[in-house]
Each structure stands twice: as C-alpha cells, then as structure tokens.
Amino acid sequence: MLRVCTARSARLCLSPTLRTAMRSSTPVFGGVSFVRLNSSKTPDAAVPNLEIQTHLPSFDETASSAVDAGLSITDQIPQIVGEASSHIGYLSSIGMARSWWWPPELIQNVMEQIHVYSGMPWWGTIVTTTILVRFLMFPLYVKSSDTMARNSRVKPELDAINAELMAATDMVEGQRVAIKRKKLLAENGIKNRYLAAPILQVPVALGFFSGLRQMANYPVDGFTNQGMAWFSDLSLADPYLGLQIITASVFISFTRLGGETGAQQFSPTMKNVFTILPLLSIPATMNLASGVVLYFAVNGACSVVQTLILRNKWFRTKLDIAEVVRHAPTPGAPSKGIIETFKENMEKARLQAERRQTMQDNEKKMQEAAKELKGNKAIKIVRRSDFQKGSRK
C-alpha cells in the first residue's frame, strides 16, 4: 500500500538510519532531477532546482524511483534524505521549526524557506538570513541613535534634574521634579522607549544560537558539506579558529566606534573592557559548531557597517538623525573605575529606594489623617444651652 508523507507525518516515513544519513545526493522524484546548490559541488555540476515542492515526497515512491534507476539499498539512503531536505517541511519532520513564534523555531522556519526557494547552500542561507534580520531591525537602531543624540544635547540639565529627583524626600516634590523632567524631554523630542531597540537583539541572537546549534547537532542534511573555505563542515568546530578571530575583531571595532547606534560615548576604561571581553570569547566559542560562529561573525560585521553608516554625517542628515553633542568633562572631577562606579550606582539605588519608601509611608499617613478628618466632619457639636432650650419647649 502506498503511503504518502506530509510535512507533519514525514517522521514516520523516515527511519532513524535514514534521518541520520547526511551526505549530498542527486534525488529523482516524479521524473524530475533535483540537484541542490552547495559548496561541495563544482560550478559545472551545480544545477538549480526545476521545481519547488511544499510537501515531503512519499518514501515508497522515492524508493521505487531509485530502484528503477538501478540504485542499491545503500545508495537509496542518502537519496531519500537528500530528496526530503529539498522540500518545505523537512525541518518540521525531524522535530524542528514547528512554530512561528518561538525565536529558535522562527529562525529555522525562515532559513528553510530561504534555503529551499533560493537553492543556496547552508552557509549562504545563514549569511542571507542574518543580513535580512539586521536590515529589518535597522529602522529601530536609527530611532535609538537619534534618541541618544538628543539626550546628549540636554545631558547637563537632565543630570541636574535627575540629581534633584534623587534627593527629593516628599511625594509632592518628587512629582514636581518628575513633571519638570518630562517637560524637558518633550521639548527636545526625546522618546526614551526607542533606547530599548538594541535590547531586541538579545532574543534574536538567542534564537539564532539555539536554532543553529540544534541544526548542527542533528545534523541537518547539508550541514556536513555545505560550508565554505576552511569550514566546509558547518556541524563541526572551526579547526583554525578563523571565525572566532573574525568575530572578536569586528566586535572590538564597533564598540570602539560608538556601539551599534554610533552614538554611545564610552569612557576609556569601558573601551578597554570591550577590547578584552571579545578576546576572551575566542576560547569560549572554540568548540561551537562553525554554523553558529558564522552567524556571530556575520552579525558582528553587520554591526560594524551599521555603526559606520550611523556615524556618517551625510547619512545622519538624510535619515534626519540629530548630531551627537560631546560635553567636556568637569574640571577637577576624579576619574572613576568600573568597580567604583558600580558601587556608587548601587549606593544611589539604595538611597533612592529608602527615600521612595519614606515618601510612600508619609503619603500613607497623610491619607489616613485626611480620612479621619473627613469622618470627624460628620460629627455635630451641640452645646449644653441647646439641650436646655429644647427641654423648655
């Protein structure tokens, strides 16, 4: 009996032996030859897909086609797996890309769409997907860069208001200063919600990391031979640490240029820290699969290009981004290290929490006093002479 596989039921059609046999092949299905473009093929042998299938082929039909072609059972295994991997739904059939809302599975779905419809090898798919995601997020970084630049204009006034807000011990006084701060931001067109744009990169990076690592550990068909240059196997670690060195270099570059928004102002101490941390990432990522580190390298390169664009005056004018105002340091102000700055911020946070608690306690007492006073107003004071007048009547 002929059994037809769909994207959901394809796992039942492929045995574990078939699913783990990952090497290139030239499958035959329905009389049409499918040849995937990958880095292991020469330009003469690379032929684009003639048809894109949105469902997985039948195991029985694929096997019968292989028998008709005179292939043995051993030769059928990579052919069946290769045929399945050239269809939308292959990742879902092996337990990946099952949803469009969870970041790792969303990234896997997007990469599968690009890989199947474009015919690119997996290294090209990873690079293309990374660039596409960074391009879609670019408008948010433009807004974030503009907000940082506008904040730099009013930094002295804003610092003074923040210090006044920290020192406020009365609820009414704190509200007055908060309104003053809100007015200052509104007058300069500052919307601090755009400062959270770089934080959105965190779930995206985690999605790429988890999704690619899962695909490399399986490994997905094509990951073992669709790399490039010295990292031809995307499921194994880079033997020469070239990708790790590239990643560290680009991260050092864009942090020294002003971060991904091109408007951040780091102290010399912080710049030294951002130089050391990327170097420490080399031994930390040396055992990761090349496909994962390739994403880190391409994402870092996109960050450098984005930083150069956002620092360019011509681009800032065309994108209507405010210019960054760099204020001279206060004369005689001592330079503070990272540990001292951290301790000072912690102490300020503690004092602010104590003041806020005191303000809340005072507000609560005032509310209780007002409630008691309101209740006392309902009591009517009657004099003794009024009782005497009433008894005579």
Host domain of residue 40:
10-95
Could you tell me if residue 150 is inside a domain? yes
- What average pLDDT does the structure give for the chain? 75
- Looking at per-residue pLDDT, the higher value among 26 and 157 belongs to 157
229 and 302 part of one domain:
yes
150 and 246 part of one domain:
yes
pLDDT range class, residue 228, cuts 50, 70, 90: very high
Could you tell me if residue 300 is inside a domain? yes
59 and 150 part of one domain:
no
246 and 314 part of one domain:
yes
138 and 270 part of one domain:
yes
Position 317: which residue type?
A: T
Q: Which of 318, 343, 376 is the last residue of a domain?
A: 318
Tell me what pLDDT residue 67 has: 56
Tell me what pLDDT residue 77 has: 54
pLDDT range class, residue 372, cuts 50, 70, 90: confident
pLDDT range class, residue 38, cuts 50, 70, 90: very low
Could you tell me if residue 129 is inside a domain? yes
Report d(CA 382, CA 390) in Å as an integer.
Answer: 12
- Looking at per-residue pLDDT, the higher value among 320 and 254 belongs to 320
pLDDT at 9 over 80: no
132 and 277 part of one domain:
yes
Tell me what pLDDT residue 56 has: 53
49 and 141 part of one domain:
no
- CA 238 to chain centroid, in Å, comes to 24
- Looking at per-residue pLDDT, the higher value among 76 and 112 belongs to 112
pLDDT at 319 over 80: yes
SS (H, E, C) the chain: CCCCCCCCCHHHHCCHHHHHCCCCCCCEECCEECCCCCCCCCCCCCCCCCCCCCCCCCHHHHHHHHHHCCCCHHHHHHHHHHHHHCCCCHHHHCCCCCCCCCHHHHHHHHHHHHHHHHCCCHHHHHHHHHHHHHHHHHHHHHHHHHHHHHHHHCHHHHHHHHHHHHHCCCHHHHHHHHHHHHHHHHHCCCCHHHHHHHHHHHHHHHHHHHHHHHHHHCCCCCCCCCCECCECCCCCECCCCHHHHHHHHHHHHHHHCCCCCCCCCCCHHHHHHHHHHHHHHHHHCCCCEHHHHHHHHHHHHHHHHHHHHHHCHHHHHHCCCCCCCCCCCCCCCCCCCHHHHHHHHHHHHHHHHHHHHHHHHHHHHHHHHHHHHHHHCCCCCCCHHHHHHHHHC
pLDDT at 201 over 60: yes
249 and 196 part of one domain:
yes
Predicted TM-score (pTM) of this structure? 0.67
Could you tell me if residue 347 is inside a domain? no
Q: Do 143 and 151 meet the contact criterion of CB atoms below 8 Å apart?
A: no
Which range has the worst mean pLDDT, 10-14, 27-31, 293-297? 27-31
Which range has the worst mean pLDDT, 192-196, 220-224, 238-242, 245-249? 192-196
Q: Do 288 and 234 meet the contact criterion of CB atoms below 8 Å apart?
A: no
Q: Do 151 and 323 meet the contact criterion of CB atoms below 8 Å apart?
A: no
Report d(CA 107, CA 98) in Å as an integer.
Answer: 11
Q: Which of 95, 115, 133 is the last residue of a domain?
A: 95
Could you tell me if residue 222 is inside a domain? yes
194 and 85 part of one domain:
no
Structurally, the chain folds into a number of domains equal to 2
90 and 205 part of one domain:
no
Which range has the worst mean pLDDT, 63-77, 192-206, 334-348, 353-367? 63-77
pLDDT range class, residue 3, cuts 50, 70, 90: very low
Q: How many CA atoms lie within 13 A of 214 on its CB side?
A: 17
Mean pLDDT confidence for 3-30: 41
pLDDT at 53 over 70: no
140 and 42 part of one domain:
no
Tell me what pLDDT residue 37 has: 44
Could you tell me if residue 131 is inside a domain? yes
90 and 140 part of one domain:
no
